[in-house]
Structure 1
Amino acid sequence: MLTTAEGRLQALLSDVAAAGTAETVTIGDMLERVGRRSYGAMLLFPSLIVVSPLSGIPGAPSTAALIIILVCVQYLMGRDTVWLPRPILDVRVPRRRLEWALRRTRPLVRVVDRWVRPRLTVLINRFTFSVITAICALLAATMPPSEVLPFAATITASIIALFALALLVRDGLLALFAFVLTGGAVAAFLIFVVPELLKIFG
């Protein structure tokens, strides 16, 4: 998994595109292609779902957020592989819609792949991996309520995807950039999303 001559993101999309054999593809099929022993890839995959046109599927951001939280918690617990509940693994996506979404995403992915590379690798270590994982879990927890505002969950998922890619490629500069964006995302959540939630539930 993720071992082709392509860049990391392009290889991930190729693996996902090859998942399953039926006219519908399950989340479980996709994760088996990604590889459940790679926590970086397991974080990257669900965040890309929300960044891609697949985010238009009802419940997709919340499902992706739950996957991200479960992946993060299991990494922090020291598990070797990721466990996900059967109802999540059995979620199905029509293959045509999946392939359409992947085609729409590839141009951006090619650009990102050309930009990222191993840099400031001293910043990517076991400690920072744990810190980033904890931050990704907290960011993912804001995604379901953020669905009250258009594109809010997509922006948050994009930051998680940057963190995940930084871990995969050992790009410390990218990780620093994602940290800065996290501060902005938290501020935006408090300023824009929380008041909307108070209006709805208050």
Structure 2
Amino acid sequence: MSSDLCASPTVFTEVRRIIDTPEEQMTIGSISEGLGKRSYGIILFVLCLPNCIPAPPGLGSIFGLAMGIVVIQYLLGRDYPILPSFIGKRAIKKTTLRRIMDTSEPFMRRLEMIIRPRMFGPAQRFLEYLGMLAVAFMCLVILIPLPLTNMLPAMAAAVLSASVAERDAAGIIVGLIIGIAGSVIAVRAASVVVALLF
């Protein structure tokens, strides 16, 4: 493990730093711009949080769409994510972000105790790519317009994103397991609703 990796602020420290800036509101693009080289994992983690808790209507879909755009760029090999202006320039009140953070804090603290750099040698890069593929699939599940079905997939995506940012191979495996469970529940719920409607 390199000393640089050990010295880097954790995902959770970076997220709290972003939210604690003095501006009254922030854009999704400004969140991405301040994150540097680890921006993919960190911004995806931030975008997951509104779907990990009960959030204002419509907010989860906006963040889910932004997640999808970011993760696709990772899978295509871009050095850092760029959001289209209709998403990147969308302003969110700091009070809303702080409410999301306050509600998410217990979840973040649990992850902070568990996720740490644990690399699996030559398999590490494969696991990180597999984790981001799973995040891409979670984005599709999150966009299913049914109440509460997006929470478990979003939590899985948060675990995967934080684990990729922290280079935690074990965390990626745990995130994949949570993602499979959450996806099965969400897809079954959606199929039941469709069957009832049609």
Count of aligned pairs: 193
> After the TM superposition, which residues 114-193 of structure 1 pair with which residues of structure 2 at under 5 Å, given as runs?
114-122=113-121, 125-145=124-144, 147-148=145-146, 150-193=147-190
SS of 1:25 mapped into structure 2: strand
Distance (whole Å) between structure 2 residues aligned to residue 194 and residue 178 of structure 1: 24
The equivalent of 2:3 in structure 1 is none
Structure 1 residues 161 and 28: CA distance shift in structure 2, 3 A: same
Worse-superposed segment, 184-193 or 85-94: 184-193
Shift of 1:164: 0.7
Distance (whole Å) between structure 1 residues aligned to residue 78 and residue 179 of structure 2: 26
Distance (whole Å) between structure 1 residues aligned to residue 92 and residue 182 of structure 2: 29
Distance (whole Å) between structure 2 residues aligned to residue 17 and residue 67 of structure 1: 22
The equivalent of 2:13 in structure 1 is 10
The equivalent of 1:56 in structure 2 is 55
Worse-superposed segment, 117-126 or 82-91: 117-126
Shift of 1:111: 3.0
Worse-superposed segment, 93-102 or 175-184: 93-102
**Superposed CA offset, 1:25-64 (max 9, x none):** 2212222233476221122121123224xx5222222112
Report the AA paired with residue 44 of structure 2: L
Worse-superposed segment, 31-40 or 75-84: 31-40
1:30 aligns with 2:31: yes
SS of 2:101 mapped into structure 1: helix
SS of 1:56 mapped into structure 2: coil
Structure 1 residues 26 and 158: CA distance shift in structure 2, 3 A: same
Structure 1 residues 107 and 10: CA distance shift in structure 2, 3 A: farther
SS of 1:152 mapped into structure 2: coil
TM, length-normalised to structure 2? 0.83
Distance (whole Å) between structure 1 residues aligned to residue 159 and residue 148 of structure 2: 17
Structure 1 residues 38 and 27: CA distance shift in structure 2, 3 A: closer
Shift of 1:123: 7.4
Shift of 1:17: 2.9
Structure 1 residues 27 and 176: CA distance shift in structure 2, 3 A: same
- Structure 2: gaps (5+ residues): 1-5
Distance (whole Å) between structure 1 residues aligned to residue 150 and residue 96 of structure 2: 20
Does the 8 Å CA contact 1:44/1:165 hold for their aligned counterparts?
yes
Distance (whole Å) between structure 1 residues aligned to residue 129 and residue 44 of structure 2: 13
CA RMSD of aligned residues (A): 2.5
Identity of matched residues, %: 21
The equivalent of 2:191 in structure 1 is 194
- Structure 1: gaps (5+ residues): none
TM, length-normalised to structure 1? 0.82
